[in-house]
């Protein structure tokens, strides 16, 4: 029988726990926890993401510092802002909303975020530590997936995990986390030969490619756990994942829906990382 992994519910539960953690921090340390969110330009999707992040901060009691720059901001302006936030003692975490306008050197800007304030977990040092199995700030989306597996009691040890997608911010850290959790991991991508056969071997199949309903029922082993990270719009403009949910769900032990699966966990993990960053300082 298939069980749905309810990301919305889990995210709510976790936000309650984070809120209690924040309250304890404020009481014990006598200061607030601060998250700076930098938005350059007026990309509508980015505006929604930033609004949701600020809302989540309010919900858990983290003080948000929204820093808006116009779309034509110069490289120096953005760099100076990030440097100022890096030195600001009230700020525990810095997030630069991506994508940045094309004329900006995003890599150079992201490198200015100190490792200790890198709540997105994208820095070279945090990524390196993750590879070494060391304690670090982990990218929010894959870390949220691990929390889902943990909370739903999905065993990873000795299991065959297949991650489809190898981006630096989702697929690769996802694979590393599963490896650190003792799964035997295969990473697939657009050049993978026999993708279907690879997927069919998975006890845990994680999909992060960005193609609506790409993973079909014939690619999924009976009793597998399927985690759908994809966020796409279908023909009718409705949000959907990379997995053909309606047809795949009958085969799985567990499956995440889209919406209501991985998505709500991502922002929650940003709150989690900000609390962790504050606790470490």
Residue 263 binds ligand NAP (CB under 6 A):
yes
> Omega before 99 cis (within 30°)?
yes
Task: Measure the CA angle with vertex 244, ends 263 and 176; round to 5°.
Answer: 50
* Nearest alpha-carbon partner for 181 in 199, 164, 160: 160
Q: How far apart are the first and last CA of the chain?
A: 45
Catalytic option among 6, 92, 118, 120: 120
* Edge-to-edge strand list for the sheet holding 3-4: 3-4, 254-255, 225-228, 204-207, 160-164, 184-188
Taking CB under 6 A as the binding criterion, the range among 69-77, 79-87, 90-98, 165-173 that sits at the site for ligand NAP is 165-173
Residue 171 binds ligand NAP (CB under 6 A):
yes
Catalytic option among 6, 53, 159, 249: 53
CB of 11 to ligand NAP, least distance (A): 11
Residue 164 binds ligand NAP (CB under 6 A):
yes
**Catalytic annotation on 276?**
no
**Catalytic annotation on 53?**
yes
Backbone angles phi, psi at 208, to 5 degrees: -145, 75
Q: Give the footprint of ligand NAP on residues 220-239 (CB under 6 A).
A: 229-232
Between 78 and 107, how does the x/- string for binding to ligand NAP read (CB under 6 A)? ------------------------------
CB of 1 to ligand NAP, least distance (A): 25
Can you give the binding site for ligand NAP, defined by CB under 6 A? 141, 164-167, 169-171, 188-192, 195, 208-211, 229-232, 262-263, 266
Which residue numbers are catalytic?
Answer: 53, 97, 120
């Amino acid at each position: 029988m298939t069980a749905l992994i309810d990301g919305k519910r889990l995210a709510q539960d976790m936000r309650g726990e984070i809120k209690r953690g924040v309250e304890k921090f404020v009481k014990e340390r006598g200061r607030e926890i601060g998250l700076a969110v930098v938005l350059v330009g007026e990309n509508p999707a980015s505006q929604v993401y930033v609004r949701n992040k600020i809302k989540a901060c309010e919900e858990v009691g983290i003080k948000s510092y929204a820093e808006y720059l116009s779309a034509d901001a110069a490289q120096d302006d953005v760099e100076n802002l990030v440097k100022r936030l890096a030195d600001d003692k009230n700020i525990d975490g810095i997030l630069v909303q991506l994508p940045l306008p094309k004329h900006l050197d995003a890599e150079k800007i992201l490198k200015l975020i100190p490792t200790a304030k890198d709540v997105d977990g994208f820095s070279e040092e945090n990524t390196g530590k993750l590879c070494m199995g060391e304690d670090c700030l982990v990218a929010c989306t894959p870390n949220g997936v691990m929390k889902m597996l943990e909370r739903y009691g999905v065993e990873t040890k000795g299991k065959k995990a297949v991650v489809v997608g190898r981006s630096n911010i989702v697929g690769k850290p996802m694979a590393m986390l599963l490896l650190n959790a003792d799964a035997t991991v295969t990473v697939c991508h657009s050049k993978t030969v026999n993708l279907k056969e690879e997927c069919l071997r998975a006890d845990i199949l994680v999909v992060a490619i960005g193609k609506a309903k790409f993973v079909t029922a014939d690619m999924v082993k009976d009793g597998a756990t399927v985690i759908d990270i994809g966020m796409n719009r279908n023909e009718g403009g409705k949000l959907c994942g990379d997995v053909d949910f309606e047809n795949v769900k009958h085969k799985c032990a567990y499956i995440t829906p889209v919406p209501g699966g991985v998505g709500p966990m991502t922002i929650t993990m940003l709150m989690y990382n900000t609390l962790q960053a504050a606790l470490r300082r």
